[in-house]
Structure 1
Amino acid sequence: MKHKILLVIFSGINLCAYSQKVIKDQAIIYQEERMVYKQWDKNKFTPVFKWYNPGSYAAYAATWLLHPDYKNGEDLRPLRPGGEQTQRLALAAAMQVTSDYYKKEADTLRNTALTEFMNYSGTVSALDPLYNLYYKKELAPLDNIVANAFLNVTPDVVLYMADSGAYSWYLTQMNSLKERYDNARVVDLDRGQRILLYHRIMLEYRKYAANWKYKLSMAKVMLTYQQKMKNKIENTAAYFSNPTKTDDQIMNDILKNRKNFNP
């Protein structure tokens, strides 16, 4: 029985030893508020001396009489209006605004530089939308002049144009345009002037291309005419070179084949 009573007593002592009690000291709470930003109220410097409570003098004297400069001094909160931390935060905000301004200014300069580069540099001229949509297609024959010279043209016309010197003229004019076209694509130039160069080259190319087509068509007509004249001469020589035919027979042959004399 005694052992049971002692066990109960020791169990109660053990529970009391591990129990916790919430301590709410108003003076500590006010001090914590003064250490940050919440308040620096002169009426909240506790403990406070109360004349009707002599027991409060000892706590008041031990706290504030030993630190009169703290209680009666200026507001020491770091986040007070005008405090050190408040000033640092304001300065950081001002520096952030300045940094954003300079960043925006730098971005503006960068975008302007890129725009000017895209506008003037021949390195990226091939990316021009107007060039890709129109002038590249119109001036594509200049990239292969020889292959586009005699498209759908018979060999006899090709030989005639080469012998007559017309093909040499064509190569000279087209190579001159191609050289100007290549320079216009790579030289550093204002975009508007580059487009005007493309347009002038395109107009000159169309003029020379039309002239070349006309020469090809005239060469074909000329060769056809020469062939007909050759056939006439050969037929006439055949008529008059046969001594076994009489004059009447020769006249009849001429009348039968009179269509051969028509051009």
Structure 2
Amino acid sequence: MIHSNKSVKFSDIIPYKLCIHDREVNGDPIKIREQKDLDTTKLVDYVIDCLKTLNRTLTPDKLDDLSTVIGEILINAEEHSTTKHRFSIGYFHEINENGQHYGVFRLAILNFGKTIYEKFKDPDCPNKEVVLKMKSLSEQYTKKKFFVFKGFEEETLWTLYALQDGVTSVAPSRYKKRGNGSIQFIESFFNIKGNKKDADDFSTLAILSGNTSIVFDGSYNITNGFVDGEPYKFMTFNQSGNIEDKPDSKFVKFVDHYFPGTIISARIMFNEDDLTQEI
């Protein structure tokens, strides 16, 4: 449909058309960040306009969380892409059933090129310190016999580690304050989703990079801890909250089909706890 420039209209679906950003058009780092802000605003405004079909708008807290989710995913896609393009596409589904009127926002943001694992595995990866930590962790997993062929491999571990607070593949001297973007959009997604026991039980966030799939549905949350006396946040997918312990294979796993890059997709339900009456 995209390649043929054709579309099918549905009364309960509002599409967000494919957005392609070419960083070579505005190659200046400041221009790239400005474009990210423009694209974030465009997507957030789109959601706000869609919610008008429910005669609702986002609460200030949820608006801030949505902006963080979209903005941090976009900047991550920008910074870690090894090709010049970033893509985003989605749709809003208005649902009116069983006396409930709510909306579901589907979004996918992706890039092509090296996977998350390949970026860190590259001998020219600028962040040598993080790579050394990943290698050390791999040695621990090997000794514990945690690696399973086509079940949980080094790629799976390094991709999970890349989501932790303070981890980035870019040179620390280039982005001294980067490395916490992934944990920020994960945390903001959980804020939108709310408590696992709430009616909103099907909002999910998923990352597919290479042969690694990581799915967030609220079964495991972010753990707060300290590293060398500094506060850090961790997403480990296990009960111990320790990255040195193997994650739950239901949510972090090796998959057969290889994706040549990274795609982050979200399914977000907007219900009463996220919305307020439109003024």
TM range (shorter): under 0.3
Larger RCO, structure (CA 8 Å, separation 6 or more): 2
More strand by share: 2
TM-score by length of 1: 0.21
More helix by share: 1
TM-score by length of 2: 0.20
- Structure ID, larger Rg: 1
